[in-house]
Amino acid sequence: MTEYFEVHERDGAARAGELRLTDPVATPALVDDVLEDAGSRWSEDRDVPKAASDGDGGPGSEAALTILPHRGFPAGTDPEVQSSFQPEYPAVDYPSAAVIHQETAAALGQDAYVLSTAQGIVGHAAAFVEAIVGVREAIEPDAALYLPGVATPGNVATLAYAGVDCFDTDRAVIRGTQGWYLTPDGEQRLADLAGDELPCPCPACRGPAEEFDREDCIEHNVAQLRAECARVRAKIDDGTLRDYVEAQGRHEQWHTASFRRLDRQWEYLEERTPLTRRAEITAASEDTLRRVEIQRYADRVTSRYRPRFDSHPLVLVPCSASKPYSDSQSHGQFHDAIDFRGHVVSITSPIGVVPAELELTYPAQHYDSVVTGDWSETEIEFVANVLSAYLERADYPRIVAHVPEDYRPIVERAIAAVGADDGAADDGTDAAPPVEYTVVDHPTTDESLANLDAALDGELRYSRGQRYRSIVRGIADYMIGDGAGDAIFDDVTVHGRYPKLQVDRAGSTRESDAEDDQLAAVVPQYGTLAFTLKGAKRWVDSDAPVKTVEIDEFVPHGSALAPGVVDADDAIRPGDEVIVEGPLAFAVGRAAMSGPEMRRSSRGVAVDVRHVEER
């Protein structure tokens, strides 16, 4: 059972946590100063250290992380040989770590694990990703992972992104003694440093450049490594580590290969990636298309969300720099021309397609892309695939494509795919709905807007109430599952001014404002729904899939901790709206960790509880 390590923030597989020692250590971190090695069992057996009574450090003390007696194996030792010598690790009452091999890793009830093969895998993307994913899946989710002898200022971000928590200064020191000057951008030989000023403000670099020697280089390397760990912690905290890793990856090829290989580990990353973040996604390269948040959105919008206005024409429009799109000047002009006579869906890279009802939903209003005026073939293929999958689930009578010339290949490819998949109708016509292009030169020219208005002439308008109910139901589909919007909110009234919408039982009035009428509210920042207790009970009683956390005999106030979780749905992800049920309580709130992590963790907040009632 993990007692002395706790995860506080998650950013994909990366975690910001704390080694709960006498002097707590925030992770990812260097652990040289708090590490005690109890010795090796290779030459002779060693007794497991007993707990120190004075707490002044050393093996068996709460002031240090003690690596329990272990066996050391040279690189390449057969896994069967290693497993035959696997020591028994008894439960101890102080912070402890077990030495493991990637082939024999298992949950041993430790606070931390030391990967013995670290130096053989770092630098080799395939081996690194395979080892880290395998080890992290094998050990407890709330245990720290330590890779000794490998950390540099240039690779800490990549290591942390994969799921590593602890490092040491060994490699930085060795490279310094060899005359290598390390920075987050790479490394240089001391002999190649030119100029009178060193490119670092650390104390070791403040003196005259001509007097800078290898001792100074060691001090500099360690300072840079320590600073990089702090930088990575900050990136995890604000949800921008992936953007930073993509930038860092350009300095060394194995970093880029590693995060690309991690992107293929869908189950590993998706389970650990929060549904929402405070920070926006920076879409600066085609690697962004493979991010979990982008792929997850594309999957949900084409497998969960269902348009409620597909009896109206589909109106395809370009994205805008302003988010949400409805706040932009161009979309305001589109809105005036459309006037609720068609269903608006925006086309964009790297998101794919954004129905108007989901424009608030993460990451639809939380990204910024590099605009060059040209679409790459990869972008065209991705967005066209998302659009065609979206069209497969809809039944629009026709399509009005109010898009610039460079968007046309996307629309044409998507329409062709729908026609090819569905075959031809009995009369030999194409199965895809007809498309009318309305843009001349630019979407916001007077002629283009007049064409858009004319293309929708004679179409019936839908009301504001219909639109608001469609927004709530669409978000529920996206959050919970296909059909959830209709199952939970089939008979509701929606009040408020967009985007601050409140969902009440049918027949309630804004004037009554009765608290027990409210079922849920839209959270404009992330485009999610926050349920009340009444709304949560309606959810449980509906046919919609319910994400449930089962707890023990207690009433959670503010949060439900992982030790109190009896069971949790596999489908729960960090940030999910969940139902919390136990013998003494019924509650609703937001998941702070995934369902599998709730079941396997012995520390940490499992659910941030919003409303609770005692049974």
Please check the confidence at residue 195 and state whether its pLDDT lies above 70: no
Q: For 247-266, give the DSSP string.
A: HHGGGSHHHHHHHHHHHH-H
Choosing from 455, 470, 493, the residue where a domain stops is 455
Identify whether residues 515 and 402 lie together within a single domain: no
Task: List, in sequence order, the alpha helices (H) in 291-434.
Answer: 292-303, 329-338, 377-392, 408-422
- pTM to 2 decimal places: 0.92
For residue 463, being part of any structural domain is answered with no
**Residue 414's domain is classified under what CATH number?**
3.40.50.10630
Q: Comparing 541 with 197, which gets the higher pLDDT? A: 541
Mean of the per-residue pLDDT values of the chain = 91
Task: Give how many domains the chain has, as a whole number.
Answer: 3
Across the range 319-328, mean pLDDT stands at 94
Greatest extent of the chain over all pairs of C-alpha atoms, in Å: 89
| Model confidence pLDDT, tens digit, residues 135-190 | 999 999 999 999 999 999 999 999 999 999 999 999 999 999 999 999 999 899 98
For residue 275, being part of any structural domain is answered with no
The two three-digit tokens of residue 329, written as one number: 């000047």
Residue 518: which domain range? 484-614
Q: For 267-287, give the DSSP string.
A: HHHHHHS-S--SSPEEE-SGG
Identify whether residues 34 and 146 lie together within a single domain: yes
Identify whether residues 43 and 150 lie together within a single domain: yes
Identify whether residues 340 and 436 lie together within a single domain: yes
For residue 366, being part of any structural domain is answered with yes
Identify whether residues 61 and 202 lie together within a single domain: yes
Identify whether residues 403 and 537 lie together within a single domain: no
| Model confidence pLDDT, tens digit, residues 219-235 | 999 999 999 999 999 99
For residue 577, being part of any structural domain is answered with yes
Helix (H, G, I), strand (E, B) or coil at 139: coil
Identify whether residues 211 and 351 lie together within a single domain: no
| Model confidence pLDDT, tens digit, residues 64-110 | 999 998 877 766 777 777 777 666 777 889 999 999 888 888 999 99
Across the range 464-473, mean pLDDT stands at 96
Identify whether residues 439 and 547 lie together within a single domain: no
pLDDT at 431: 61
Choosing from 405, 438, 455, the residue where a domain stops is 455
pLDDT at 517: 86
Q: Are strands 29-30 and 399-401 parallel, antiparallel or unpaired?
A: unpaired
pLDDT at 343: 97
pLDDT at 511: 54
* Confidence bin at 54 (pLDDT 50/70/90): low
Identify whether residues 436 and 496 lie together within a single domain: no
State the distance between the two ends of the chain, measured CA to CA, in whole angstroms: 30
Identify whether residues 216 and 177 lie together within a single domain: yes
Identify whether residues 252 and 314 lie together within a single domain: no
| Model confidence pLDDT, tens digit, residues 403-438 | 999 999 999 999 999 984 444 444 444 466 889 999
Which residues on neighbouring strands pair with residue 577, listed in sequence order? 590
pLDDT at 422: 45
Q: What is the DSSP letter of 430?
A: B
The b-or-e profile of 508-532 (16+ CB within 10 A means b, else e) is beeeeeeeebbbbbbbeebbbbbbb
